[in-house]
A and B are shown apart, each in its own frame.
Chain A
Amino acid sequence: MSSTINTKFSRRSFLRTSSLASGGMLIGFNFFTACKDTVKMPVDIAKLNYNDFNAFIKISNEGMVTIFSPNPEIGQGVKTSMPMLIAEELDVPWENVNVVQGILDTQNYTRQVAGGSQSIRFGWDALRQTGATARQILVNAAAAKWGVDASECSAKQGVITNAAGETLGYGDVVNEAAVLENERAAARAAKIAALVEGEKLEEEPIALKDPKDFTLIGTDVGNVDIDKIITGKPLFGLDYKAEGMVYASVLRPPSFGQVLESYDATAAKAVSGVIDVIKIGEKAKAYLAKGEVDWSAKLADTEKVVVIAENSWAAIKAKKAIKAQWSESTPLENTAAHDKILVDLLDGNKLTNLRKDGNVRKAFSQADKVVERTYESPFLPHNCMEPMNFYANVTDSKIHLVGPVQTPASAASTVANMLGRDEKEIRLEMTRMGGGFGRRLYGDFVYEAAEISDQIRRPVKMFSTREDDMATGVYRPAIKYRIAASIKDGEITGYHLKEAAVNSNMYGIIPDFFPAGAIENYQVDVAKYDSNITTGAWRAPYTNFLSYAEQSFLDELAEVLEKDPVQMRLDLLEKVKGTTDDRIQYSAERLQDVLKLAVEKSGYRTPKEGVFQGVCAYYCHNTHVAEVADVVMEGNQPVVKKITVAVDCGIVVNPLGAMNQIEGGAIDGVGHAMYGDFVFEDGKPTSKNFDSYRLIRMNETPIVETHFVKNTLSPTGLGEPTLPPAGAAVAIALKKATGNRVYKQPFATNMATKPILG
């Protein structure tokens, strides 16, 4: 059964086909944007240029399908799940599908970004439409070959069948399909040319499968790179090598606020294996001075010393031997001062309003009681397991860039602008990424690699050590929240959230998350302090900490009101149902449902002796999640044993991959809430490697149990949404276990009773 879904994607406008010189058919398509009608497809697979299409499907004469996947892979599984959407509608056996990471040339691309858990959400329609269209093209070709009408034929698992029961494999008709499709495209172009103004080409929409007929979507599909990963094949940026490549290690100012004054490289140059020691930064600074750059380039606002060496070890050693003098261009900052500044902002009256419902001030003045709490969080480094690195080869005629970056298009355009080159000369290849978490959205490491290669005119791999990575990062900003609520006659009548943050405040839609809409008088105000320490997106920006603050606060309100914390949330959500406020981002029903599911599956209503459970429900990144944390006391130490997660992410494309994301997100949330700490003194962090920065490890890890709300709604992302509720659920469970509330992250150092887990 097929259902016809009306779609804004007209198949002929975003897809082209071509016969391949080597046999078979190539289909090029582009997400979201229509391609120019004049665009030609390559006939040689080696000439894919991603200019007008950002993704391709190749179907060989043997019926094998290669999908050139456009989205960068940072561990969230899109390299597996996005091709699944195509393969489902194309209707081919998954064993016949091979997935290759796309290459970026920078024109006409869209959404080639990994971040914000958006890839699947945006790709859902476009990718299925592409697969369905490709299938139709093949069916048309088979029908023509048989001399029957296409409507009498059907396709399943790579085989087309006609009414007489004859069959043809996809591979048997690809050559004809390409020719036929091009004729149709030409005929269509002629029709479009003949249209009079205001007239539109009537086209039949392509039928997509009814979700109940899915055979691939919703099944467990393993990571497409699994064999390479478990056998140690080159995959990541740091693994990339090219003929004549040298290694570069960059010495950056030790403190934020410092710039390079002078340096002596005599000892460094004497290290065996060192080719040269150079200075970079002029081009980056000149580009920065134009003022059109995003703030992450703050990292580039100084000159830097670079060791060029024959191997990584020589570069690392020589860097330590450089004697550099730094001077202070802006004052060196520290955490103690930030703490005071942020509290002053919360106390002060220089806040910007982001949302205001009713009259909070009035509600507070008429209240029986006002509860106010302040929640604090530190800066956090991303600590991607693979340190930042990039390959660059700048020559007179072209620029070749290879590596792990979440925003390839903007990185390429910045390099072009910085070096005064044409973007067309750039070829950027993305590698698999050893983690992203937001860090690789910022291209500072790409610019450095490019500037180095531009200067030395050699292929070069710029790589960071862990210390470089941690000490010259783009951190999650330190933030403090102050939340106050008014209580009147046993009800919450007012809610006032204030945010004081380093560098940047929560973005527009966050004030419209729960509990917005549930409380009559509701207000969100923000203030920020501009620091010279670079900050940016970190997995689930803002919500990664806000969730803990708000959900802990709601739990405390329930305690004050002597209400059941689950029922109180369900009641609050009940008030949101049927809202006419279209700013509200979440669905009250879906949030209630995940909360009920988590409560049911965790055994929250039938507590076990000695197990203390904290429950919360949260919406962010388009996904509704509820989590229950189980904490037990071992001696007088609380231990997080288990997290029960209930998720509504719509249709689950690949449960095996989805559960990996969910487990990782929840454990990451527990880990950073428990241990994540990052202190600045004299402009530099006091932790620079894993001996002094604590990440959660195996023995401290709770078991994560996942439950999905089953529905047929469009899928939403999973890379981020399970992280924010985890810290909240743990904080609430810790209160039950120890009797104390914890108002500051990390919990391990800020709890009255210090937990030693494991």
Chain B
Amino acid sequence: MPTYNLKINGKSQSIEAAEDTPLLWALRDQLDMVGTKFGCGIGQCGACTVHVDGNATRSCLLSIAALDGKEVTTIEGLSEDGSHPVQVAWKEIDVPQCGYCQAGQIMTASAFLEKNTNPSKDEIRKAMHGNICRCASYNRIENAVAKAAENKMA
């Protein structure tokens, strides 16, 4: 099996895996980073969202072979200690129900707020539309994204 050098959360990681292995499974099974979640495997739910060069990306559809020279950030690397403004807002609003979708929601929200620091309600709703929350914690997700934007600007 080929070896790949990935840059994840600022660290170089070398893994041996089949070339079509999605980043999701490399993270979860081989690198023991299970914060990135499996929900659908076909890019429809957003549970597996990570940042690739700062962009929110579905890791279930991204093979590790395509990651050469790219920087990956996962929920584990978003902050050292949960202090990223989006994480802080998530805690303030107490967003999660079961919690399973939330890492993906947070990764989508944090990439979005990098690009749009002062989003409108509509922009938030559109930005978060791709992430399913089966528990339907949508109202709180919406509020938490707004709160994170507010905290960030303050």
Interface positions of A (Cβ within 8 A of B): 73-77, 220, 222-223, 225-227, 229-236, 238-239, 241, 247, 272-273, 311-314, 316-317, 383-387, 432-437, 465-466, 656-657, 660-661, 663-665, 667-668, 671, 689-691, 695-699, 701, 703-704, 758
Task: State whether B82 touches A231 (Cβ < 8 A).
Answer: yes
With beta carbons under 8 angstroms apart, the residue of A73, A433, A696 that contacts B136 is A696
Given A386-B37, A758-B125, A695 contacting B137 (CB threshold 8 A): no
Task: State whether A385 touches B47 (Cβ < 8 A).
Answer: yes
Task: State whether B134 touches A690 (Cβ < 8 A).
Answer: no
The CA of A234 and the CA of B33, in the complex, are separated in Å by 8
Residues of the A chain whose Cβ atoms lie less than 8 Å from the Cβ of B137: 660, 663-664
A61 to chain B minimum Cβ distance, whole angstroms, is 28
Given A222-B91, A311-B30, A232 contacting B99 (CB threshold 8 A): no
Given A385-B133, A695-B132, A667 contacting B98 (CB threshold 8 A): no
The CA of A121 and the CA of B58, in the complex, are separated in Å by 41
Task: State whether B138 touches A667 (Cβ < 8 A).
Answer: yes
The CA of A97 and the CA of B93, in the complex, are separated in Å by 21
Residues of the A chain whose Cβ atoms lie less than 8 Å from the Cβ of B131: 697-698
Task: State whether B99 touches A225 (Cβ < 8 A).
Answer: yes
With beta carbons under 8 angstroms apart, the residue of B18, B39, B132, B140 that contacts A660 is B140
The CA of A229 and the CA of B35, in the complex, are separated in Å by 8
Can you pick out 12 interface pairs between chain A and chain B where the beta carbons lie within 8 Å of each other?
Answer: A75-B96, A229-B102, A230-B87, A232-B103, A238-B34, A385-B101, A387-B39, A663-B137, A667-B138, A696-B138, A698-B129, A703-B139
B20-64 contacts to A (CB < 8 Å): 20-22, 25, 28-30, 32-42, 44-45, 47
A473 to chain B minimum Cβ distance, whole angstroms, is 14
Residues of the A chain whose Cβ atoms lie less than 8 Å from the Cβ of B133: 385
Task: State whether B136 touches A313 (Cβ < 8 A).
Answer: no
Known: A226-B96, A230-B75. 5 other contacts (CB 8 A): A227-B82, A238-B38, A313-B20, A690-B132, A698-B129
Closest to B92 in A: A222
Task: State whether A698 touches B138 (Cβ < 8 A).
Answer: yes
Main DSSP-derived SS at the A contact region: loop
Closest to A272 in B: B18
A539 to chain B minimum Cβ distance, whole angstroms, is 10
B63-116 contacts to A (CB < 8 Å): 74-76, 78-79, 81-82, 87, 90-91, 94, 96-103, 106
A652 to chain B minimum Cβ distance, whole angstroms, is 15
With beta carbons under 8 angstroms apart, the residue of B44, B81, B134, B136 that contacts A701 is B136
A224 to chain B minimum Cβ distance, whole angstroms, is 11
Residues of the A chain whose Cβ atoms lie less than 8 Å from the Cβ of B18: 272-273, 313-314, 317
Closest to B137 in A: A664
Given A230-B106, A663-B137, A689-B42, A77 contacting B97 (CB threshold 8 A): yes
Residues of the B chain whose Cβ atoms lie less than 8 Å from the Cβ of A436: 98
Task: State whether A466 touches B42 (Cβ < 8 A).
Answer: yes
The CA of A668 and the CA of B129, in the complex, are separated in Å by 16
The CA of A311 and the CA of B34, in the complex, are separated in Å by 13
Given A222-B94, A223-B94, A690-B45, A701 contacting B138 (CB threshold 8 A): yes
Residues of the B chain whose Cβ atoms lie less than 8 Å from the Cβ of A238: 34, 37-38
A466 to chain B minimum Cβ distance, whole angstroms, is 5
Given A232-B34, A272-B1, A698-B142, A385 contacting B135 (CB threshold 8 A): yes
Residues of the A chain whose Cβ atoms lie less than 8 Å from the Cβ of B149: none
Task: State whether B91 touches A227 (Cβ < 8 A).
Answer: yes
The CA of A222 and the CA of B92, in the complex, are separated in Å by 8
Residues of the A chain whose Cβ atoms lie less than 8 Å from the Cβ of B139: 663, 667, 701, 703-704
The CA of A232 and the CA of B81, in the complex, are separated in Å by 11
Task: State whether B44 touches A239 (Cβ < 8 A).
Answer: no
Task: State whether B134 touches A384 (Cβ < 8 A).
Answer: yes
With beta carbons under 8 angstroms apart, the residue of A230, A312, A697 that contacts B91 is A230
Residues of the A chain whose Cβ atoms lie less than 8 Å from the Cβ of B130: 697
The CA of A689 and the CA of B91, in the complex, are separated in Å by 31
Task: State whether B82 touches A230 (Cβ < 8 A).
Answer: yes
B6 at the A interface (CB under 8 A): no
B128 to chain A minimum Cβ distance, whole angstroms, is 4
With beta carbons under 8 angstroms apart, the residue of B75, B97, B102, B126 that contacts A664 is B97
B97 to chain A minimum Cβ distance, whole angstroms, is 4
B55 to chain A minimum Cβ distance, whole angstroms, is 19
Task: State whether A239 touches B34 (Cβ < 8 A).
Answer: yes
With beta carbons under 8 angstroms apart, the residue of A435, A665, A698 that contacts B100 is A435
B141 at the A interface (CB under 8 A): yes
With beta carbons under 8 angstroms apart, the residue of B81, B129, B135 that contacts A697 is B129
With beta carbons under 8 angstroms apart, the residue of A312, A435, A699 that contacts B135 is A435
Task: State whether A660 touches B94 (Cβ < 8 A).
Answer: yes
Given A690-B42, A698-B138, A698-B141, A229 contacting B96 (CB threshold 8 A): yes
The CA of A736 and the CA of B28, in the complex, are separated in Å by 50
The CA of A667 and the CA of B136, in the complex, are separated in Å by 6
Task: State whether B97 touches A660 (Cβ < 8 A).
Answer: yes
Closest to B47 in A: A385
B90 to chain A minimum Cβ distance, whole angstroms, is 5
The CA of A505 and the CA of B134, in the complex, are separated in Å by 26
Task: State whether B38 touches A668 (Cβ < 8 A).
Answer: no
Task: State whether A699 touches B75 (Cβ < 8 A).
Answer: no
Residues of the B chain whose Cβ atoms lie less than 8 Å from the Cβ of A695: 132, 134
The CA of A696 and the CA of B45, in the complex, are separated in Å by 11
Residues of the B chain whose Cβ atoms lie less than 8 Å from the Cβ of A435: 98, 100, 134-135
The CA of A220 and the CA of B92, in the complex, are separated in Å by 11
The CA of A691 and the CA of B126, in the complex, are separated in Å by 18
Given A230-B82, A689-B40, A698-B131, A241 contacting B100 (CB threshold 8 A): no
A432 to chain B minimum Cβ distance, whole angstroms, is 7
Kindly list the 5 A-B residue pairs having the minimum CB-CB distance in the complex, ordered from nearest. A232-B35, A75-B98, A434-B100, A232-B75, A667-B136
Given A74-B98, A664-B137, A699 contacting B126 (CB threshold 8 A): yes
Given A385-B134, A466-B42, A698 contacting B106 (CB threshold 8 A): no
The CA of A29 and the CA of B41, in the complex, are separated in Å by 43
The CA of A515 and the CA of B38, in the complex, are separated in Å by 44
Given A656-B94, A664-B137, A667-B136, A311 contacting B29 (CB threshold 8 A): yes
The CA of A383 and the CA of B101, in the complex, are separated in Å by 12
Closest to A310 in B: B29
The CA of A314 and the CA of B25, in the complex, are separated in Å by 10
Closest to A461 in B: B29
Residues of the A chain whose Cβ atoms lie less than 8 Å from the Cβ of B138: 667, 696-698, 701
Closest to A238 in B: B38
Residues of the B chain whose Cβ atoms lie less than 8 Å from the Cβ of A220: 94
Residues of the A chain whose Cβ atoms lie less than 8 Å from the Cβ of B128: 698
Residues of the B chain whose Cβ atoms lie less than 8 Å from the Cβ of A701: 125, 136, 138-139, 142
Closest to A660 in B: B97
The CA of A238 and the CA of B99, in the complex, are separated in Å by 13
Task: State whether A232 touches B132 (Cβ < 8 A).
Answer: no
The CA of A671 and the CA of B138, in the complex, are separated in Å by 12
A320 to chain B minimum Cβ distance, whole angstroms, is 12
Residues of the B chain whose Cβ atoms lie less than 8 Å from the Cβ of A241: 32, 34
Task: State whether B99 touches A465 (Cβ < 8 A).
Answer: no
Residues of the A chain whose Cβ atoms lie less than 8 Å from the Cβ of B140: 660, 663
B50 to chain A minimum Cβ distance, whole angstroms, is 10
Residues of the A chain whose Cβ atoms lie less than 8 Å from the Cβ of B35: 231-233
Closest to B96 in A: A229
Closest to A670 in B: B136
Task: State whether A691 touches B98 (Cβ < 8 A).
Answer: no
Closest to A657 in B: B94
Task: State whether B98 touches A432 (Cβ < 8 A).
Answer: yes
A94 to chain B minimum Cβ distance, whole angstroms, is 14
B131 to chain A minimum Cβ distance, whole angstroms, is 7
Residues of the B chain whose Cβ atoms lie less than 8 Å from the Cβ of A222: 91, 94
The CA of A465 and the CA of B139, in the complex, are separated in Å by 28
A301 to chain B minimum Cβ distance, whole angstroms, is 27
The CA of A161 and the CA of B45, in the complex, are separated in Å by 55
Task: State whether A232 touches B136 (Cβ < 8 A).
Answer: no
Residues of the B chain whose Cβ atoms lie less than 8 Å from the Cβ of A697: 129-132, 138
A573 to chain B minimum Cβ distance, whole angstroms, is 30
